[in-house]
Each structure stands twice: as structure tokens, then as C-alpha cells.
Amino acid sequence: MADHGRHNHPISVSPNRPNSVRFQREFVPVTGYFIPTQPMRRFLIIAARTVLAVLSFAAVGLLAFAGWLVWHYDYDMGLPTEAQLAAIAPTGPACRTDPKRAYIPLVDIPPLLRDAAIAYEQPDFYEAWSLNPIAEIAFAVGTGRSPRPAGITQSVARCLLSLSPGTDRQIDPIASIFFMQRVTRNLSRDRILEIYLNESYRGRGAYGVAAGAEAYFGKPLPDIDVDEIAFITARARQPNPSRSFDTRSRDHVIDRMQTAGLISETQAAAAKSRLLLLKDTTGAQAQPVNQ
């Protein structure tokens, strides 16, 4: 017997009638996915925990090593302290005191000479962040090379070691990085540059660019030309060249000056074409060298 719906249509209740609806649940196997078994899941969990533990121990070890580095190079080696660096006068000699040695404030040094030193030794001198010892050490380890050079800062840091008795000597690269960071943290970049230009050795017993201009050319600092600026700048790296001077190092500095936009191509060509005239060490008039 059939029931009747709202509009008096018969509704079949037999599952075998054509208008019946049958709902069946079918399980379709999923392909392309790996479903780990219970033992495999247990193994993966244990492996993940083991890796996490190893990484945690490595992080703790790295922090401990970093702490040891800071303690060793900040306190154990006897490097000049931040208080000693902060006590340096805003101008004047910082490493060596010699009343006979001329000291030129940075504002009185020709701008081209200042910029040439930066272009040759440390082009990012003003733009670079203060040195980070851990980052520099990681860079050296990761690249297999020595820490990145910082000519001006490194030279001044080596000079300032004399502030602490017993440390005026060669120190290892890591100690040098730590101390350079301390120097850049306590001295302005202008002050560091002023110390560099006045106290770096230029050969012939000359410390600083003013003494170098007199020793090599018999001229006061404001009177030296482009080629002479380049020569004195190069002497910071080669204070004791062979007795036979040549123009290669001078011309290399001239190229750096041109690349940095300090001089034009015409000025660079003219400077390279000039004879290298050096004052004789006995005080005689400058004579051509390696014509």
C-alpha cells in the first residue's frame, strides 16, 4: 500500500521500485600518498626530537663560545679599555707624543688628500656599520678567508694599542676585530681619520702626511699636487719600498681617485705622465726617479 504525499502523489516505500533512492558509502583507496605505519611514526618522532636536542645543544655551545670570546678578548688580553679610548682628546696626538712632530687637524688637511686615503684604503669608511666581531668571524669561517680588511680603522687600532703597556705588539686577527669594534664605538670616524693621516708611518722617518710631504717632496702639505698626493697615500701600505722607487703604486692610487670621482680622466692622465721627483734624503733638490 502506498502513502500519498502533499499533492496526492504516491510515494514508494519499496527499495526495489524505480523511484527509490539508495544511499551507499563507498571507500575509494587514496593513491600517491605515503601513510606511515605506527612503528614508522614512532621512529620519525624520535628522530625529530633528537635533531631538536642536537640543535639546542649546538646553540648553547655557540653562545658559550661567543661569551668566552668576549671575555677573553675584552678583558683577558689587556687591550686598551673603552675608558682609555674615551679619554683620548678630541684632536691632537693620540698614539705618540713628540713635540717635534707636526700634527695637522683634519679640517686643515687638503680635502683631496683625505678623500684619496679613503678611496685607496677603505672606500666604505664612513658608510659601513661598526664592525661586529661575531659577524666578521662567521664571515671568515664561512668564506675560508681572513676577516675583511679595514685599512684606516685597522691602522689606527694598531696605533692605539700603545695606550695599554705591553700590548704594543702584533695581535691575532680575532683580537684585532674586537679592538677595532671598540675603537669605532668610542671614536668618531673623523677622529679616526685624523689619527690615521697624522700618525701612520710613511717611510723616511715620517709619521703622517705632512711629514711625508716634507720628507719626499720638500713641500708643505697645501702645495702638493695630485701625483704627489697619490704617492704619499701609497706609502701608508709601502713605507719601506726598495731604494729604486717606481710609479706603479702611485698610478694605482690615481686610478682609485678617478674611479671614486675625485679627479677627472684628464687630471688622472696628467698626473700619471709627470715624472716622479723625490727629494734626496740628504736634503738636496728633488731629482727625477725612474724616468
Q: What phi, psi does 3 have (nearest 5°)?
A: -80, 165
Nearest alpha carbon to residue 211 among 77, 93, 123: 93
Burial class (CB in 10 A: 0-12, 13-18, 19+), 134: middle
Looking at the DSSP bridge assignments, the partners of residue 287 are 278
pLDDT in tens, 18-28: 554 454 555 44
Angle CA 107–108–109, to nearest 5:
95
Q: What is the mean pLDDT of the chain?
A: 76
Nearest alpha carbon to residue 77 among 146, 184, 181, 179: 179
Read off the pLDDT band of 198 (50, 70, 90): very high
Q: Which residue has the higher pLDDT, 141 or 28?
A: 141
- Rounded CA gap, 105 and 274, in Å? 29
DSSP class of residue 76 equals: I
Q: What's this model's pTM, rounded to 2 decimal places?
A: 0.68
pLDDT in tens, 86-121: 899 999 888 877 777 788 999 999 999 999 999 999
pLDDT in tens, 232-272: 999 988 776 655 577 888 999 999 999 999 999 999 999 99
Residue 290 has pLDDT above 70, yes or no: no
Q: How is residue 152 written as a grid cell?
A: 684606516
Q: Tell me which H or E stretch contains 191.
A: helix 189-199
- Rounded CA gap, 107 and 270, in Å? 27
- Rounded CA gap, 216 and 235, in Å? 10
pLDDT on residue 284: 45
Q: Which residue has the higher pLDDT, 263 or 148?
A: 263
Rounded percentage of the chain residues whose pLDDT exceeds 90: 30
- Tell the residue number behind the cell numbers 738636496, with chain if given: 284
Helix (H, G, I), strand (E, B) or coil at 165: coil
